[in-house]
């Protein structure tokens, strides 16, 4: 079992005929993803790796049942593409691009909530249910990283994801689902909104959170633990402990503002809530072993 995505999920790819869209669509299919349709305006009648292409999302869903959409579009077109998917009734959307205009992102999150949809991104590698399916661009052929197992992973950082997940595998575990929340200032889905899905998943025994400075998402996770919304073990690693205040570090969302968002404060909040916090990436696997070796 997994969360959000599995082999049966019927996926549409918006921007499927572009260089990145066509390349990763083929890899997603090879991995087991059920890609049933694609959309590129003006390209209807073509196909990519056997997947039919339509002018619009509405035309695609009129012909083929669709449950989820993956967006390979530039940031300035992300809002329009998301609204098109939501208007077609799609409830699961992953947006990969980074640099979505702030005002657009605010409108996009509001629209997703109004539609009752889960929209992941932007500035993310996507989501992957290990050994089943993926929506995004993951080097799944790296077996030292992408190994099926019973650890859920939520992350804001693509680069740290491979390093931390490799430590999970090195410790003898694997991942159930990996959710790339993304690094933009306005995440369209927040960590605390994903936690209940991992809580309900019988094949997830613990969660690893890969966070960073900036924002309040990690503090929201601490609140979810304190309020018993999430009751399984959680191990966190937070990047950016030495970042100077007021400086943007890598991601647009990784900035300390108004005295909030420091890694120190996040670590204190998580520890006080009962989570385990790793000081170094290699400690993530060790901490998992300490709490799960007798269970898995």
Q: Which residues are catalytic?
A: 251
Answer for the pair 12, 186: CB distance below 8 angstroms, yes or no. no
Distances (CA, A) of 16 to 42, 50, 53, 177: 12, 12, 8, 24
Distances (CA, A) of 160 to 108, 146, 177, 212, 281: 27, 14, 16, 10, 9
Answer for the pair 14, 121: CB distance below 8 angstroms, yes or no. no
The half-sphere exposure of 6 on its side-chain side, counting CA atoms within 13 A, is 6
Q: Measured on CA atoms in the order 231, 237, 240, 242, is the torsion positive or negative? A: positive
Q: Is the bond preceding 122 in cis, omega lying within 30 degrees of 0?
A: yes
Look at residues 161, 243, 158, 228 and name the one whose alpha carbon lies nearest to residue 196. 228
b/e map of 264-292 (b: 16 or more CB within 10 Å)? ebbbebbeebebbbbeebebbbebbeeeb
Residue in the structure block whose two tokens are 């998917």: 85
Q: Measured on CA atoms in the order 275, 280, 281, 287, is the torsion positive or negative? A: negative
Distances (CA, A) of 157 to 82, 165, 202: 22, 12, 26
């Amino acid at each position: 079992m997994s969360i959000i995505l599995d082999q049966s999920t019927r996926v549409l790819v918006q921007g499927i005929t572009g260089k990145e869209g066509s390349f990763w669509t083929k890899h997603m299919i090879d991995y087991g993803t059920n890609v049933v349709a694609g959309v590129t305006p003006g390209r209807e009648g073509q196909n990519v790796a056997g997947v039919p292409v339509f002018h619009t999302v509405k035309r695609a869903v009129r012909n083929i049942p669709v449950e989820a959409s993956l967006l390979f579009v530039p940031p300035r077109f992300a809002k329009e593409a998301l609204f098109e998917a939501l208007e077609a009734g799609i409830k699961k959307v992953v947006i990969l691009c980074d640099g979505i205009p702030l005002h657009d992102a605010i409108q996009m999150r509001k629209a997703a909530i109004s539609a009752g949809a889960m929209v992941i991104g932007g500035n993310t590698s996507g989501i992957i249910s290990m050994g089943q399916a993926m929506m995004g661009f993951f080097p799944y052929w790296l077996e030292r990283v992408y190994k099926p197992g019973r650890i859920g992973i939520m992350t804001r950082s693509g680069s740290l994801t491979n390093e931390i997940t490799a430590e999970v595998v090195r410790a003898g575990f694997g991942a159930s689902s990996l959710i790339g929340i993304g690094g933009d200032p306005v995440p369209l889905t927040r960590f605390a909104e994903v936690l209940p899905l991992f809580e309900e998943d019988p094949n997830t025994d613990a969660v690893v959170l890969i966070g960073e400075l900036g924002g309040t998402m990690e503090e929201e996770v601490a609140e979810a633990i304190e309020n018993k919304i999430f009751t399984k073990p959680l191990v966190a690693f937070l990047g950016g402990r030495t970042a100077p205040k007021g400086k943007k570090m890598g991601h647009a969302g990784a900035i300390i503002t108004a005295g909030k968002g420091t890694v120190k404060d996040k670590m204190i909040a998580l520890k006080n809530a009962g989570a385990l916090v790793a000081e170094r990436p290699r400690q993530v696997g060790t901490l998992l072993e300490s709490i799960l070796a007798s269970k898995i």
